[in-house]
Amino acid sequence: MKAIFWRTIKDRRIVLLIYCLGVIGFLWMYVGMFPSFADKKDEFNQLMQYYPKEMMQAFGITEITQIFSSIENFLAMEQFSIVWPIVVIALAVSIGGSSIAGEIEAGTIETLLELPISRVKIFFAKYLGGLVLIAVFTVVSVFTVIPLAAAYHVDYQASHYVTTFIIGLLFAWAIMTLAFFFSVVFNSKGRAYFIPVGILILMYVLKIISSLKENLKDLQYTSFFYYFDANKSLINNKIDNWSYLIFGGVIIVFTIIAVFWFSKRDIVVS
């Protein structure tokens, strides 16, 4: 089991490094730019008043004049409401979707199944390896802000990044679990990637629609993007209890179903 766990991490270490470096680059750019924006916040706030209110609400921005008041406000809009979720989805789906379906496509699943350990242990070795990968990414992509802010003499609230790490990890974990489930169900990585991404795109669209039409407001509750609220965690240092319930429920339910499915299904390598 340990060998499978470490192989899972080793096989994805270069991909993880690339993702981490990419997100550090974005954070460095935003934190480095922030002092200039903060010095001219009145001019930028005046300019942003001309943006359609509905469009700003679609991105979770309710107080336009507060965007440049702190690094947390700025990053909540620029990084953690737009860039970060996209990167996390790509990483979590690639890890989860390739976990079992990737082994089937590569023809290596037979080698795994011939090992003197149960399918349940094989599943959790790969699942926990994937969880470690997304946890490392979440740590790097959230807490790197602190040394960067210190380097540019920008004030920051350290506890807010702990809160954002928690909700960010739950968000990424739930997505990886969904992708893992579809990887167990299908023999093709393509399907294991496409279906969870399609579900997430639909959720994002529903979140946007719910912010534009008052009579469709309840649609927001069907979207992961409602429960991952960077503004609430990074700016207000809060996480809704429903976020714990929804993400935790998805993780537990789909993990149990995936384990059962993998332990019972027939696997045929073409």
pLDDT single digits (tens) 63-121: 555 677 889 988 998 899 889 999 999 999 999 999 999 888 888 888 888 888 999 99
8 A C-beta contact, residue 64 and residue 51: yes
Note the pLDDT of residue 159. Answer: 96
How many CA atoms lie within 13 Å of 44's alpha carbon, on the beta-carbon side?
15
Buried residues in 206-224 as b, exposed as e (16+ CB within 10 A): bbbebbeeeeeeebbeebb
Give SS3 for 145.
helix
Note the pLDDT of residue 57. Answer: 56
Residues of the chain with pLDDT > 70, as a percent, come to 89
Closest CA to 154 of 27, 32, 236: 32
Phi, psi values for residue 179, rounded to 5°: -65, -35
Please list the alpha-helical segments (H only) found in 144-240: 145-151, 158-185, 189-212, 224-227, 230
In angstroms, the CA 86 to CA 84 distance is 5
Helices 158-185 & 241-264 angle (0-180, nearest 10) = 30
pLDDT single digits (tens) 200-219: 999 999 988 887 777 888 89
The domain spans of the chain are: 2-38+70-264
In angstroms, the CA 180 to CA 172 distance is 12
8 A C-beta contact, residue 130 and residue 99: yes
pLDDT single digits (tens) 3-60: 899 999 999 999 999 999 999 999 999 999 998 877 665 555 565 565 555 555 555 5
pLDDT higher for 179 or 111? Answer: 179
Note the pLDDT of residue 90. Answer: 95
